[in-house]
Amino acid sequence: MIDARGGQGQKGGVGTPTSLEGFLLACREPFQREIPPLLDALFDKLDDALYDLADKAGSDRLYARYYDAMRLFRKQNRNVKAIFLRQLERTSELTASGLVEPDSGFLDSLRAEDFALVEEAELEETLAVGNLVSKAESRYHRQLHELGCFLGALLSRRELPARANPLGPVAVCDAFCAALKPLQDIDLAIKLVAYKLFDKHVMDHLGGVYDQCLALARDRGHGATPATRGTATNRPGPAASLSRETQALRPRSAEAAQRALTEAVGRIPFDELRALLDQWRSPRPQTTDAGETVTVQTSELTAILTQLQDAMRSARNGPIASLEVRSRLDGALNAHHPGQVAGRRSLGEIDEDTLDLVFLLFESIVQGGDFPDPIKALVGRLQIPLVKLALLDKTFFDDRDHPARRLLNRIADAVVGWAEDEDRTPDSLYGRIERLVERIIAEFDRDLTLFARLDAELAAYLSHEAVRVRAIEANVCSIAAGRDRMASARRKAQAVIDERLTRGPRVPEVVESLLTEGWREVLFAAYLSGGEGSREWLTAVDVVDRLLWSVQPKIASDDRRDLLRGVPDLLRTLRGGLTAVAFDQRLLSRWFKELQALHLTALRGAAGSQDLAVARQTPRETPVAANPGTTAPRTSPGTGAETAGLLRRLVPGSWVELVRDDARRVRVKLAWVSGDGQSLQFVDRQGREGPHMARDDLAILLEYGLANLVRGEDDLPLVDRAIATLARTLNN
């Protein structure tokens, strides 16, 4: 470590404090040049987002919340940018002084009992920031690895971890969090919108900045530092592999990659995955003396994994990180035992490839959005049993109907809508999965049929539950369909009246009132009864046309004769229809007296001028425009390509995660869609009624990160998707 005075605290250090300070100072320039325009774009989009959310607010309280936040961000955006850049500078200065900032991702080491000590809103915000960091570390893993190696050399270290990198995603996200802290009046739901847009408009554009920093490093005569290697094997472990790409592709691997990606639907042969893995990580170094290394047999490896599993299970109940498993495995392999043959012990190539592939695959499964966090903690404990399974049975990778894959897929399907406040008793879904996990950990050794038996047990339980859920859900959908049909009937009835009132001559006030207040209910009932093609509907629409014609001046003698003959039948039909819908008879009698006078006036060839043309109401201004100090009403920005793609995947059976007003997250399933596709009914995991919303409202929530598509109905099963994702990752 380099102390604050600039002295070197270790022998053999590479670089000097001056070179480190100079490099970080040089890197400050691209950050200060590139980041402010990105923040400006962020604030523009945030302003639009809060305007849209205020415009769609369902209550005055929500409207005021979004409007006040919009005004505060407009006022404070310069301060936010200044604090953001100062925080980045401070982190760099601490690193240059040898005082590397501690990793802010404290959730990695937080114990389960510690969660009770963290405010729920603070935890939700930390998780949101953690997701931004994880995405960026995956997206820029090559650049971050090279920067980490270069900075590590300047700090006399092997490699500076990505999460301690003063230029890395953790530092950038920490700076943004620090910049938002003074805005104490901003609640969590609005902060989540800001984080979503920060990811889209800032984090997604850091690649160019990192490339400029790497160019500065190379100008100082330093290339990418070779990746560090594990102590127990001749090849890099998965934790190291996650942060780099190979420098060259082998011809056979390129062909394998193309073929694997063509078939990347969850069924990729083990040998193809090995070829992809081989091209992705650093080339295997050649051993100079074959006698120096002792290869560990598969049976011994599984025995060591079982011991590690037992030790870790007694130590804690949470998921076990791949890096920790690998570290302990390395220590166990090279621990000295009496009678053990001298020499360094390593894994066979196939066994090590199997470990690396399962670790990478499991990381993709657990880090995805299929499992709620408490379920994720349970499933995370299956990592070592699945490694042991794959060592014994390589068909796990290419058999889509493998019992272990079926079991994982079934768990993912069952818990996708599970809520954290649900029952966790032994007979609940959570309790059954917990017992299932415990049985696998305790019982699995070499019996591959265990997964099939447990899958059958879980399937039987879920099948029994599904019968009850389907009945409840069907009732909810029936109610939604009836509600939508009524809304559609009202819209149709109003449309018939509006279309005829606007296309023809002005009519007296009494006629407009009779149609909009009275006859609309007759049209509504007729549409509900038989639809547009029914005799009742056609008759009711014809009455509208006849009534409007009857009050217009009649000049021709034929028109006067037709009016005299038609008025009695018209009045009888009007009275009968309005009586059938239980309309107020006193108001109806007054209207009919006024109609009689209008008909007499029409027979004389004149219009009832004293009753004509009540001015129609003008549309109200939008709420934001009505407030002083705000801009004029704006058109909402169009749905982005990403949101449009999510909406296309949204079909009955899709699961969506919504952020509620109190910032809690809830998962609901789309159970019903109206005929025009604009009205959506959601249910929870138990089939009970959830939100009923318009498609456009959901689009706005998706656009600004207050909703997210967890899984589409046509998505591949969990493990199939994870293997396809693994193949794409290894091919990059």
Q: How does pLDDT run across 505-556, given as a tens digit for each residue? A: 888 999 999 999 999 999 999 999 888 889 999 999 999 999 999 999 989 8
User: What pLDDT sits at residue 2?
Assistant: 34
Task: Copy the structure tokens of residue 730.
Answer: 């290894």
> What's the whole-number average pLDDT of the chain?
77
User: What pLDDT sits at residue 96?
Assistant: 64
pLDDT digits (tens, 9 = 90+) for 483-499: 888 988 999 999 999 99
User: What pLDDT sits at residue 343?
Assistant: 57
Hey, which bits of 87-160 come out as E strands? none
Residue ranges covered by each domain of the chain: 17-219, 238-284+293-469, 507-611, 641-716
Residue 291 class from Cβ within 10 Å (0-12 exposed, 13-18 middle, 19+ buried)? exposed
User: How far is the CA of 306 from the CAs of 298, 312, 326, 388, 412, in angstroms?
Assistant: 12, 10, 14, 8, 25
User: What pLDDT sits at residue 576?
Assistant: 92
Residue 646 has pLDDT above 60, yes or no: yes
- The number of beta carbons lying within 10 Å of the beta carbon of residue 160 is 23
Task: Copy the structure tokens of residue 332.
Answer: 């166990």
User: What pLDDT sits at residue 637?
Assistant: 47
User: What pLDDT sits at residue 255?
Assistant: 46
Residue 221 has pLDDT above 90, yes or no: no
User: What pLDDT sits at residue 376?
Assistant: 85
User: What pLDDT sits at residue 409?
Assistant: 92
User: How far is the CA of 294 from the CAs of 284, 286, 301, in angstroms?
Assistant: 17, 15, 13
Rg (CA), the chain: 34
User: What pLDDT sits at residue 226?
Assistant: 35
If pLDDT is split at 50, 70 and 90, which confidence band does 432 have? very high
User: What pLDDT sits at residue 513?
Assistant: 92
User: What pLDDT sits at residue 629?
Assistant: 40
Is the whole model's pTM more than 0.75, yes or no? no
CA distance 43 to 180: 12
pLDDT digits (tens, 9 = 90+) for 103-134: 444 334 444 444 444 455 676 777 778 778 87
User: How far is the CA of 451 from the CAs of 370, 588, 608, in angstroms?
Assistant: 20, 74, 85
- Cα–Cα nearest to 693, from 448, 683, 703: 683
User: What pLDDT sits at residue 322?
Assistant: 67
User: What pLDDT sits at residue 671?
Assistant: 94
Angle CA 257–259–263, to nearest 5: 110
User: What pLDDT sits at residue 511?
Assistant: 93
User: How far is the CA of 131 from the CAs of 115, 127, 153, 395, 729, in angstroms?
Assistant: 18, 6, 29, 33, 18
Give me the mean pLDDT over the 575-598 stretch.
90
CA distance 308 to 321: 13
CA distance 50 to 64: 11
Helices (H), 514-584: 520-530, 535-550, 557-580
pLDDT digits (tens, 9 = 90+) for 331-383: 777 665 555 555 567 788 898 899 889 888 888 887 777 888 888 888 888 88
Ranking 253-257, 411-415, 473-477, 710-714 by mean pLDDT, the lowest is: 253-257
CA distance 195 to 206: 15
Run of H or E residues at 618: none
Q: Which DSSP category does 100 fall into? A: P
CA distance 333 to 412: 34
Give me the mean pLDDT over the 151-180 stretch.
82
User: What pLDDT sits at residue 142?
Assistant: 77
CA distance 81 to 180: 10
> By the 8 A CB rule, do 111 and 316 touch?
yes
Residue 566 class from Cβ within 10 Å (0-12 exposed, 13-18 middle, 19+ buried)? middle
Give me the mean pLDDT over the 41-59 stretch.
84
**Highest-confidence range of 65-79, 398-412, 710-724, by mean pLDDT?**
398-412
User: What pLDDT sits at residue 340?
Assistant: 55
Q: Long-range contacts of range 126-133, CB-CB < 8 Å, 24 or more positions apart?
A: 128/191, 128/192, 128/195, 129/173, 129/177, 129/195, 130/105, 132/169, 132/173, 132/195, 132/198, 132/199, 132/203, 133/105, 133/163, 133/169, 133/170, 133/173
User: What pLDDT sits at residue 459?
Assistant: 92
Residue 95 has pLDDT above 80, yes or no: no
User: What pLDDT sits at residue 570?
Assistant: 92
User: What pLDDT sits at residue 673?
Assistant: 93
User: What pLDDT sits at residue 472?
Assistant: 94
User: What pLDDT sits at residue 21?
Assistant: 80
Residue 254 has pLDDT above 50, yes or no: no
What CATH number was assigned to the domain covering residues 641-716? 2.30.30.140
User: What pLDDT sits at residue 266?
Assistant: 55
SS3 183: coil
Is the dihedral angle over the CA atoms 555, 561, 564, 570 positive or is it negative?
A: negative
User: What pLDDT sits at residue 247?
Assistant: 32
User: What pLDDT sits at residue 525?
Assistant: 92
End-to-end CA distance of the chain: 35
Residue carrying the six token digits 């009919």? 592
Residue 212 class from Cβ within 10 Å (0-12 exposed, 13-18 middle, 19+ buried)? middle
User: What pLDDT sits at residue 249?
Assistant: 30
CA distance 2 to 98: 5
Backbone angles phi, psi at 623, to 5 degrees: -55, -40
CA distance 524 to 389: 64
> By the 8 A CB rule, do 678 and 698 touch?
no
Residue 451 makes CB contacts below 8 A (sequence gap 6+) with 389, 403, 404, 406, 407, 440, 444
| Size (the chain), residues | 732
Q: Which DSSP category does 702 fall into? A: H
- Strand bridging mode 655-659 / 707-711: antiparallel
User: What pLDDT sits at residue 605?
Assistant: 81
pLDDT digits (tens, 9 = 90+) for 315-329: 455 556 666 677 777
User: What pLDDT sits at residue 127?
Assistant: 73
If pLDDT is split at 50, 70 and 90, which confidence band does 649 have? confident
Is the dihedral angle over the CA atoms 702, 707, 710, 713 positive or is it negative?
A: negative
Give me the mean pLDDT over the 476-482 stretch.
92
User: What pLDDT sits at residue 121?
Assistant: 63
SS3 55: helix
Proportion of the chain above pLDDT 90, given as a percent: 24
